[in-house]
Amino acid sequence: MDKQLLGQSLFRIILGLFVIGILLFLPAGTFRYWQGWLLICILFVPMTVAGLLLFVKNPELLRKRINAKEKEAEQKTVVSISGFLFIAAFIVAGLARRFGWLMLPDWAVWVSAAVFLASYIMYAEVLRENTYLSRIIEVQEGQKVIDTGLYGIVRHPMYSATTILFLAMPLVLGSPLSFLIMLGYIPVIVKRIRNEEAVLEEGLEGYREYKQRVKYRLIPFVW
């Protein structure tokens, strides 16, 4: 058992839980923000289970995803902008709870939670299909083009899943204002995908042919 890898994984989960808790409940001015607790549950319970499964079944993929750091300046900017959007969206959601700004009805929150969990399942399937997945843009040694399963429908199913996840988060929190903030993630992910495809075309054998077979990047029949 790789105790160091297990410790790193658990530390990141606990740190993420602590940070998101501060970003939500401090602006809300109360722990009586049930939408915040709901998001924490549906975010961190599956994350912990997925992390433990990766630790058992594919520790190398888990290690790569934990330790990877972007090297390209353009992608560092993309990551920074994404982080800013998340922070702003969580803070605004907490403030909306405190001051009674526009909030979604309970049924819409639960529907959004169901969409979030469905996207999580999609994300897990992508991880199962593609063992070369990394948190950074790179071509790994021995990497091959994956064109089965979800990769036969769109070229970037991981980004499809994460885009739905990220857009569902503010709705789970009940905050349309936070959702408007998170819409800024769409041009960010488009920029990341364009850059990633340029890297893959240059360094991954067969990727150009794969692009000809699978026309859509993110959403079938749209883009």
For residue range 16-68, list pLDDT tens digits in order: 899 999 999 999 999 999 999 999 999 988 888 877 777 777 777 667 666 66
Rounded distance, CA 209 to CA 201, Å?
A: 9
The verdict on residue 221 lying in a domain is no
pLDDT: is 63 or 199 the higher one? 199
Tell me how crowded residue 138 is: count the other CB atoms within 10 A of its CB.
18
Distances in Å between the alpha carbon of 214 and those of 47, 117, 150, 151, 192?
A: 30, 26, 11, 8, 18
The verdict on residue 190 lying in a domain is yes
The verdict on residue 157 lying in a domain is yes
Q: Would you list the DSSP string of 145-163?
A: ---SGGGGT-S-HHHHHHH
CATH of the domain at 164: 1.20.120.1630
The verdict on residue 46 lying in a domain is yes
Q: How many domains does the chain have?
A: 1
The verdict on residue 202 lying in a domain is yes
The verdict on residue 168 lying in a domain is yes
The verdict on residue 220 lying in a domain is no
Per residue in 138-160, pLDDT tens?
A: 555 556 777 778 888 898 898 99
Model-level pTM? Answer: 0.85
Structural domain including 56 reads: 3-213
The verdict on residue 121 lying in a domain is yes
